[in-house]
Amino acid sequence: MHELSIAISMIDQISEESANRGGLDVQAVHMRLGVFAGVDKNALLFAYSLACEGTPLQGSRLVIETVPLLVYCPVCRHECTPPSVYQIYCPECFTPTPEILTGREMEVALLEVAV
């Protein structure tokens, strides 16, 4: 499962950061996930809860903020939302565009830490 390896590497990275900062009590991990990142949100949530077991992040929550897909149309010269992630073209002039502005994000936005 693709999402499980993502969850594991994310947890590794956060655990390391936590250790570097003297052992944080992480309550929740907020992340930004683009709809075009190729990651299933629910699968990632599930993978996260599994992968947390036995790590310093056990019991923490993963909060996913979905980032919509936004592309730039070189013909209309504006930002637009394509019909779907499988049809990356401008909805007004139907020009396919490779210029993806947002939607590929997969990053930890912030850590919620108990004080």
**According to CB under 5 A, which one of 1, 19, 63, 75 is a site residue for Zn ion?**
75
Instruction: Find tokens 């969850």 and name the residue.
Output: 7
Q: Is the Cβ of residue 39 or residue 70 nearer to Zn ion in the bound state?
A: 70
Q: Is the Cβ of residue 4 or residue 76 nearer to Zn ion in the bound state?
A: 76
**According to CB under 5 A, which one of 53, 92, 99, 107 is a site residue for Zn ion?**
92
**According to CB under 5 A, which one of 19, 93, 101, 109 is a site residue for Zn ion?**
93
Whether residue 79 contacts residue 94, with contact meaning beta carbons closer than 8 Å, is answered with no
Q: Which residues bind Zn ion (CB under 5 A)?
A: 73, 75-76, 90, 92-93
